[in-house]
Amino acid sequence: MDRKFFGKVFKITLTGLLVLSLSGCAALNFRHEYDKGMRAYNEKNYEEAIVSFNNALNYKPDSYSALCLLGASYAYKKDTKMAEKTFQDAIKLFPDDWNAYVFLGDLKRTQRDYPMAMEYYETAVTLESMGGKEKTYYKKLLKEIKQEEANYNLRFEDKIKETKQNELNKEGITNTYNPQEQTTVNQNQTGDVVLNLDNKKWEKAVEQKDEKSKLIEYGIKGEDVKNFKWTHLVTVQYFILSDNYPTDLDSYFKNHIGAIEAIAKNSNKTFEKKIITQRKNDILYEWKFDNSSEAEIARIIYTPKGIYHIHCAKKGAFTNEEKVKYIDLLKTAVLK
């Protein structure tokens, strides 16, 4: 975890945790391991802290302070999956205590996932367990994060443009892409989509169509897409609109996302979603499933005749470079 986001935030949180941890009558073994963990933590020896806090939790599994400090140790070791899982475990046991929400907010902020970070901070501020001093601090912090998000989005958009222009410059091509033009579709549309995929890397793995829909899946060459053995997958779907299927863009998006959320909920998996950009007939969004064990960046385009849905999926989390490439791929897709 990036320490520049902790600073005063962490000092406030740790103070609350120490009060919580010292207020109970813990077993001697728990106290011994907990104190070892605290010493290692304060010395920034996070590997040793992780071992000690885990040992402490073996004696007292419901120690809120040990869980939170274990999660923070994982975060500093950049094991974000274990950090998030540990903080979530703390919230399940103690949903009315504010510290774990703040730690999750810190974690999401370092990942530049500002909507989720603000959601966790806002939840913490509403809890009665948070004192007045902390509430004042985090309310101020929320305003700062909104501006931080706006600045980051501007830099991110500039990076997308710069990356695309650099690629075009290498090919001697002038960038003429205009996002507003992408909603213009051939009135005799076929449901096909032209994507700028590298033929040396990607191949068409699945193609299905009937009178109402069309589906094409592109996989990395050598991967068994048909048997769901893939690391990256690009899927293009097209649904013809009719009296029997009179959906609109918002309804389609809500139904699609709602179905994935239901799967996550029923299987006790985490699910995060974020709209990147949205226009009248066009939504660009991303989601993360089961602590980013699978992630997707996708675009839905509504036309009077049909809905195009282009998915870029990955087993695991997207890197920032992959995000730039996939978002650029989606934004420059040509509809036919």
pLDDT tens per residue across span 48-87: 999 999 999 988 898 999 999 999 999 999 898 899 999 9
159: confidence class by pLDDT, cuts 50, 70, 90: low
Tell me which residue of 99, 165, 166 sits closest to 129, measured CA to CA.
Answer: 99
- DSSP, collapsed to helix, strand or coil, labels residue 300 as strand
In sequence order, the 6+-apart residues with CB closer than 8 A to the CB of 70 are 37, 49, 50, 53, 54, 57, 86
The CATH 3.40.1000 domain(s) of the chain lie at 181-335
Name the DSSP letter for residue 319. Answer: P
Sheet holding 282-289, edge to edge: 202-209, 213-220, 232-240, 306-314, 294-302, 282-289, 271-279
Which pTM does this prediction carry?
A: 0.47
Q: Which fold has domain 181-335?
A: Protein Transport Mog1p; Chain A (3.40.1000)
Owner of token pair 């139904």: 255
The CATH 1.25.40.10 domain(s) of the chain lie at 3-148
| Residue 204: strand pairing partners | 218
Calculate Rg over the CA atoms of the chain. Answer: 24
Say yes or no to pLDDT of 276 above 80. yes
Which residue type sits at 156?
F
**Better-predicted residue by pLDDT, 175 or 57:** 57
Q: Cβ distance 305 to 241 under 8 Å?
A: yes
Say yes or no to pLDDT of 172 above 70. no
Instruction: Give the range with max mean pLDDT: 3-17, 18-32, 259-273.
Output: 259-273
pLDDT tens string 76-105: 998 988 999 999 999 999 999 999 999 999
Name the phi and psi angles at 2, rounded to 5: -70, 120
Assign domain 3-148 to its CATH architecture.
Alpha Horseshoe (1.25)
Question: What's the chain's average pLDDT?
Answer: 81
